[in-house]
Amino acid sequence: MNIINIEHISKVYKVGTEEVHALRDVTLRIDKNEYVAIMGPSGSGKSTLMNMLGCLDTPSSGIYQFNSVNVSQMSDNDLAKIRNKEIGFVFQTFNLLPRSDALHNVELPLIYAGVPSSERKERARKALVDVGLGDRIHHKPNELSGGQRQRVAVARALVTNPSIILADEPTGNLDSKTGEEIMGLFNEIYEAGNTIILVTHEEYIAEHAARIIRIKDGYIEKDENVQKRYIPKKSIVNE
């Protein structure tokens, strides 16, 4: 079963009078429980593709089916619903609410999903425990290390049980040791049966995935399975 089925999508931006083709006729399928890395230099259309996959943006033309539902022409509100229920975002800069503690940050998507308070808190707590932050639930982002912040973000992405985890340069702001830990966490998530899409420009990070899609000038240059996937050592969850 395809989770993501993209057919001939293009994205054109107007910058002043000039038209910029960020994506040209991209066709792509991603199955359940795949671990895909999307690679490409900056300006390649990689970010546009990620925004498209994450339902943050809609294509200029072409069809995007998410879980067999056509989302390419959906309204803002319907897209928000899809993002809330089906997609877990992990960003390079963590993107946590700075004034809220870890628990509230993880709780947030559940608030927008309309989950009642007590159930919400319980699920958020469990998600934090799962990423190894059971003892940090009331810490605010500025009281946490970079790695811990990214774990909070991962917990937030997982708490709604989404169809895909979309990670945009998740190790970009971390030192290599912490980055490795986060990649270990992703590996566990993948092995637990989740679908992960990883956007990166680092070959070494991309090789954690089972499949690499290379983007250049708005089209897919190469789409291949990784021969020998790099499997990180088990994440030290309860350090």
Q: Which residues bind other proteins (CB under 8 A)?
A: 51, 54, 56-57, 76-77, 80-81, 83-85, 89, 91, 95-97, 99-100, 108-109, 111-114, 156
**How many Å apart are CA 205 and CA 200, to the nearest integer?**
7
Q: For other proteins, which is the closer residue by CB, 79 or 185?
A: 79
Q: To which residue do tokens 């995935």 refer?
A: 209
Minimum CB–partner distance for residue 40 and other proteins (Å): 17
* Tally of CB atoms within 10 A around 147: 20
Minimum CB–partner distance for residue 152 and other proteins (Å): 12
Side-chain-side CA neighbours of residue 156 (13 Å): 30
Q: Which residues in 53-192 belong to E strands, given as ranges? A: 61-66, 69-70, 87-90, 164-168
DSSP string, 17-38: TEEEEEEEEEEEEEETT-EEEE
**How many Å apart are CA 125 and CA 4, to the nearest integer?**
30
**How many Å apart are CA 182 and CA 174, to the nearest integer?**
9
Q: For other proteins, which is the closer residue by CB, 157 or 220?
A: 157
Which among 221, 212, 216 has a CA at the least distance from the CA of 21? 216
Minimum CB–partner distance for residue 94 and other proteins (Å): 10
Q: For other proteins, which is the closer residue by CB, 118 or 227?
A: 118
Minimum CB–partner distance for residue 44 and other proteins (Å): 17
Minimum CB–partner distance for residue 234 and other proteins (Å): 28
Q: For other proteins, which is the closer residue by CB, 153 or 215?
A: 153
C-alpha to C-alpha distances, 169 to 39, 91, 183, 186, nearest whole angstrom: 10, 7, 11, 12
Minimum CB–partner distance for residue 56 and other proteins (Å): 5
Side chain identity at residue 120, one-letter code? R
Q: For other proteins, which is the closer residue by CB, 12 or 80?
A: 80
Q: For other proteins, which is the closer residue by CB, 173 or 237?
A: 173
